[in-house]
Amino acid sequence: MNGMDHSEPILDLEVVAELRASTGDDDEFLRDLVATYVDEVTSHLDAMASAIDAGDPEAIVRPSHTLKSSSASVGALRLAAICRGIEAAGREARADRLAEDVELARATWAATLDALRRAELVA
Amino acid sequence: MTAAAPVALIVDDSPVNRKLLARHLESLGIESREAGDGRTALEMLRAEGTDVAVVLLDIVMPEMDGYATLEAIKAEESLRHLPVIMISGVDELDSVVRCIELGAMDYLPKPFNPAVLEARIRASLAGKRLHDLEVESAERQAELLRTIERQKDELSRFFSPQVAALVSSPEGHQLLAGHRRVATSLFADLRGFTSFSERADPEEVLGVLRQYHETMGALIVERGGTLEHFAGDGMHVFFNDPIPQDDHVERAVRMAIDMRDQFDVLAAGWTKRGYQLGFGVGIATGFSTLGRIGFEGRYDYGMVGFAVITAARLSSVAAGGQILLSPRSHADIEDLVVAEPVGEITLKGFSRPIAPVNVLRMRDVDGSTAESADEGRPVGA
């Protein structure tokens, strides 16, 4: 895992602002988008945990990739960075730290959800 | 959906990205369909392929990833033309290169920039429209060609095949407008036909004519003659136009001999039924004018000139079984035919007499036909 993880903000408000502006300053749409994000995160985290339980690091690539992508879209950059590291480790079949990293991703997700609530993007 | 709104298919396993892209596309006036994996996308495309104008395709997906989906789209005839834009993160540029090699048109970097998205989508839709126009234009052209072929086919029922082909050929207009060329004219008609047609039943007369036209028509086609017209028992056929024929005199003479032979077969049947008919031919060669002759509403592709008049007059003085050849035509193929002089004849309307010959038969190159024993050998043979 690279040292960049903790340098990224949990929620980049600049990204959120750009997102809001580029989608027509429509708060309803933005909240709907974030709700969609919140819905998908848990399933990706669960899929990643299952891959570790199954001892199949390659199976971690797709959920970590998708979560990375979705997280980056809504400004959850730290979670995106952690997922990028997990995806890379999965591709190279480096299983040594994957369990810890997935735990870190889960903890980061809790912090991200808090930040989204504070930004009034999640009810 | 309205026909005016183009449709994009978004193929991405991230619902967030799909929703975001759909939102951006909506602001561009583009309708979206969504698929969470490649397999679903292909099923949708096969079901409504012509409806979708552009595909936005993620690379890493469950079930069927972007590579496999792209390959499947490009391998399918009905989908191959669809522009595919890859959706890619900054860390996936190597994969994008591979996708472009596989036939993707462009890529769209994540996170999405609305301006970049618009530019790429517009370019792809323009490409798709161009392709659709090309397909449409090719279809129209094929339809046009089919129409021309059909017309040619119809025309050839009314005109000789050469003239039918000429009408639809690139140089047709010029040739139809008129030109001058050396050509050979052949007139033929039946002796005794007028009195036969006055005595016999109309059905009988038309029956005889039908047989006669069928037989002679086949020989004209066989020798590549251009039939100007059948008029009752008479016909005018010419050679070396519109299709050039170096051997136009020989063709005319060979056709005349075939016609005389075939006529003998037909006449044997008619004689049994009590009709005495004969067949006479006149052939002449000369510089002539050829082209469209007639008036608005009824044109023939015709030949006019001294050779035509000569051939017509020779035909009218020919006795049954005679093939009268003008001196000019005879000079052209003297070595090829066995002919006998018939003396000088002053044709109607001609100030000076001419000396045509009567063609008996073709001379074999080695002069070895059974009947050639009592005939003169070719000069120099």
| A42 touching chain B per CB within 8 A | no
Hey, are the CB atoms on A70 and B60 less than 8 Å from each other? no
Distance from CA of B16 to the nearest CA of A (A): 6
Q: How much of chain B, in percent, has pLDDT values that exceed 90?
A: 44
Place of tokens 């070895």: B368
Inter-residue contact B319 to B304 (CB < 8 Å):
no
Hey, are the CB atoms on A70 and B16 less than 8 Å from each other? yes
- pLDDT number for residue B366: 55
| A80 touching chain B per CB within 8 A | no
Which of B11, B13, B16, B65 is the mutation pick for testing A, counting most A CBs within 10 A? B16
The overall longest dimension of chain A from CA atoms, in Å, is 45
Hey, are the CB atoms on B17 and A73 less than 8 Å from each other? yes
- pLDDT number for residue B158: 64
Residue of B nearest to A31 (CA): B16
- pLDDT number for residue B199: 86
Collapsing DSSP to helix, strand or coil, B48 comes out as helix
- pLDDT of B376 over the 50 cut: no
Q: Which of B148-152, B244-248, B279-283, B348-352 has the lowest mean pLDDT?
A: B148-152
Place of tokens 């100007």: B228
Q: How far is CA B200 from the centre of its chain?
A: 42
Hey, are the CB atoms on B19 and A36 less than 8 Å from each other? yes
| A23 touching chain B per CB within 8 A | yes
Q: Mean pLDDT across chain B, nearest whole number? A: 86
Q: What is the DSSP string of A6-73?
A: GGS-SS-HHHHHHHHHHTTS-HHHHHHHHHHHHHHHHHHHHHHHHHHHTT-GGGGHHHHHHHHHHHHH
Distance from CA of A100 to the nearest CA of B (A): 23
Structural tokens at position B204: 């009988």
The shortest CB-CB distance from A33 to any of B19, B110, B111 is to B19
- Give residue B344's pLDDT band: very low, low, confident or very high (50, 70, 90): very high
Structural tokens at position A74: 């809504």
More confident of the two residues B259 and B229? B259
Torsion of CA A58, A60, A62, A68, to 10 degrees: -140
Q: What angle do CA A25, A27, A33 make, to 5 degrees?
A: 110
- Give residue B52's pLDDT band: very low, low, confident or very high (50, 70, 90): confident
The shortest CB-CB distance from B60 to any of A24, A62, A74 is to A62
| A31 touching chain B per CB within 8 A | no
Q: What is the pTM of this model?
A: 0.57
Quote the crossing angle between the two packed helices A27-53 and A98-118, to the nearest 10°.
160
- pLDDT number for residue A56: 86
Q: What is the pLDDT of residues B72-104, one digit of tens each?
A: 999 998 888 889 999 887 677 788 888 888 889
Structural tokens at position B374: 């009592």
More confident of the two residues B381 and B197? B197
Residue B283 — φ and ψ, nearest 5°?
A: -130, 135
Q: How far is CA B299 from the centre of its chain?
A: 21
- pLDDT of B330 over the 50 cut: yes
Q: How much of chain A, in percent, has pLDDT values that exceed 70?
A: 95
Collapsing DSSP to helix, strand or coil, B266 comes out as helix
- pLDDT number for residue B194: 86
More confident of the two residues B256 and B50? B256
CA-closest candidate to residue B15, choices B78, B58, B64? B58
More confident of the two residues B60 and B363? B363
Q: What is the pLDDT of residues A15-41, one digit of tens each?
A: 999 889 888 899 899 999 999 999 999
B312/B236 Cα distance (integer angstroms): 8
- Give residue B293's pLDDT band: very low, low, confident or very high (50, 70, 90): confident
Distance from CA of A66 to the nearest CA of B (A): 6
- pLDDT number for residue B5: 79
| A44 touching chain B per CB within 8 A | no
Regions of chain A short of the pLDDT cut 70: 1-6
- Give residue B4's pLDDT band: very low, low, confident or very high (50, 70, 90): low
User: Which residues, in sequence order, are CB contacts of B263 under 8 Å at separation 6+?
Assistant: B212, B215, B279
Beta-bridged to residue B57, according to DSSP, are B11, B86
- pLDDT of B380 over the 60 cut: no
The shortest CB-CB distance from A69 to any of B17, B19, B114 is to B17
Residue of A nearest to B13 (CA): A66
* Separation in Å, CA A110 to CA A34, A47, A79, A116: 14, 17, 10, 10
Q: Which of B25-34, B52-61, B143-152, B258-267 has the lowest mean pLDDT?
A: B143-152
- pLDDT of B49 over the 70 cut: no
- pLDDT number for residue B6: 86
Distance from CA of A121 to the nearest CA of B (A): 14
Helix (H) or strand (E) segment spanning residue B190: strand B179-191
- pLDDT of B64 over the 90 cut: no
A92 contacts on B by Cβ (under 8 Å): none
Q: How much of chain B, in percent, has pLDDT values that exceed 70?
A: 92
The shortest CB-CB distance from A33 to any of B16, B91, B114 is to B16
